[in-house]
Amino acid sequence: MASAAPTYVLRYFPVIGFAEPIRVLLAAAGVEWTEEHPEWPQEKPNQPFGRMPVLIEKTEGKPDFVISESQTIARYLARKYGFLPADLQEAAMQEQFFDQQHDVVADFNKCETLAEGEDRRERRKDVDEILDKLIEVQTAILQRNGNTGRMFGDGLSLADAASYGFYKVFMIGFVRLQADIANVIRAKLTPEIVKHLALVEADPALKAHTDKAESLMAVVQPQPGKL
Ligand SMILES: N[C@@H](CCC(=O)N[C@@H](CS)C(=O)NCC(=O)O)C(=O)O
C-alpha cells in the first residue's frame, strides 16, 4: 500500500520574514500544512539551531524530518514538488537569484543593528547598491523569459516564490523598521516586476494562502486614497 502523502508544520514567528517563500511553496505544492508560533525564547533550545524557521515533515510510519535554515527548507520543498528544474545549471540560475535576495534582506536588517560609531547612511548605500543591481538583473531575466510574468519557464518556480517573499518582506514587513520603505521600493520597481508579482499573487494554486495573508499587490499598486 502506498504511504500517505507527507504533511508539514512550519514553525516561525507570526511575521512575513524569511518564511514567505516557504509558505508560497507549501501552498503551491497543494500539501497539507499548518503554521506554529512557538513561545520565544522558551522554545529556542528545542529548535535544531536555536532559530526559526523550522520545517517538520510528517510521514506516516517514519520519524519526523526536521530542518532549519530558510533557504535550505525552500530548496528542499522546491526540489521535492517540482519548482526547481532537474538540470543543474538551470537550477543554479534560480538559486543564485534566491541567495542574492537573501543577502539584501540580511544587509537591510543589519542597518537596524548598527555598532557604535557606524553610519546608517553608509550601510543603507550598500543595501541600495545590491538592491538596484538585483532589480536590474531581475528585469532582464523577466524580459528574457518573454515578459510573461514568470521568471523561468512557464509555471511557478523557486525564483518566483523567492521574489514574491522578498518584496513582501520589504514592502510590508520592513515598514515597521523604516516607515517609507514601501514607497522607496515602489519607485524602483519596473513594469516587468510589477507584472510578475501580480501573476504570482493571482495564482489559483496559492489562493488558500493569499486569501488569509496580507496582499502584496495592495501595496505595489495601492488604490487611490489608500496610500
Ligand atoms: N540563516 C537563518 C537565519 C534565521 C534567523 O535569523 N531567524 C531569526 C528570525 S528571522 C530568529 O530565529 N531569531 C530568534 C533568535 O535568534 O532567538 C535562516 O535563513 O533561516
Give the right CATH number for 88-220 from 1.10.10, 1.20.1050, 3.40.50, 1.20.120: 1.20.1050
Domains 7-80 and 88-220 share a fold: no
pTM of the model: 0.94
Q: What percent of the chain has pLDDT over 70?
A: 93
What is the rounded radius of gyration, in angstroms, for the C-alpha atoms of the chain? 18
Q: Residue 69 Cα, ligand 1 centroid: separation in angstroms? A: 8
Site to substitute for ligand 1 among 43, 47, 51, most atoms within 8 A of C-beta: 51
Q: Is 165 in the pocket of ligand 1 (CB under 6 A)?
A: no
List own/partner pairs for 71-78 with CB under 8 A and 24 or more apart: 71/98, 71/99, 71/102, 73/22, 74/21, 74/22, 74/25, 74/98, 74/158, 74/161, 74/162, 75/158, 77/22, 77/25, 77/26, 77/29, 78/25, 78/157, 78/158, 78/161
| pLDDT at residue 114 in the model | 63
**113 pLDDT tier (thresholds 50, 70, 90):** low
Check pLDDT > 90 for residue 111. Answer: no
Hey, which bits of the chain come out as E strands?
7-11, 32-36, 54-58, 65-68
Residue nearest atom 1 of ligand 1, based on CA coordinates: 69
Reported as a single tens digit per residue, the pLDDT across 16-38 is: 999 999 999 999 999 999 999 99
Mean pLDDT of 134-160: 98
Domain ranges of the chain: 7-80, 88-220
| pLDDT at residue 178 in the model | 87
Q: Is 193 left (phi over 0), alpha (psi -120 to 50) or beta?
A: alpha
Q: What percent of the chain has pLDDT over 90?
A: 80
Mean pLDDT of 137-143: 98
| pLDDT at residue 96 in the model | 96
Mean pLDDT of 51-62: 97
Beta bridge partners of 53: none
Q: Residue 147 Cα, ligand 1 centroid: separation in angstroms? A: 34
Check pLDDT > 60 for residue 202. Answer: yes
- As a CATH number, domain 7-80 is 3.40.30.10
Q: Is 44 in the pocket of ligand 1 (CB under 6 A)?
A: yes
Q: Is 17 in the pocket of ligand 1 (CB under 6 A)?
A: yes
Give the strand pairing for 7-11 and 54-58: antiparallel
The mean pLDDT of the chain is 93
Check pLDDT > 90 for residue 208. Answer: no
